Structure 1
Amino acid sequence: MLYEQMIVKENMYKSFLKHEWGLDSGKMSA
């Protein structure tokens, strides 16, 4: 359960970073 929570949190963090960077430099992301 704890492990899954960590994975979910990491995925949320990654998607958040992707969203933040995508707003400004979406052309640079693959």
Structure 2
Amino acid sequence: MAAAVGREEGEEDEQGKKKRLWPWLRLRLQQCS
């Protein structure tokens, strides 16, 4: 049970990183072009 919950939290963390990274990536692309 605990292992499954930990895995779900890990997946949520990965999604959170992507959500935080996207605006930063878009800003970098706008600055380069």
Same fold (TM over 0.5): yes
Distance 1:2 1:17 in 2: 23
Gap runs ≥5 in structure 2: none
- CA RMSD for the aligned pairs? 1.5
Gap runs ≥5 in structure 1: none
Q: Between the two structures, name the one with larger relative contact order (CA 8 Å, sep ≥ 6).
A: 1
Question: Structure 1 segments of 4 or more deviating over 4 A?
Answer: none
Give the TM-score normalised by the residue count of structure 2: 0.67
| Identical counterparts, % of pairs | 7
Give the TM-score normalised by the residue count of structure 1: 0.71
- Higher-Rg structure is 2
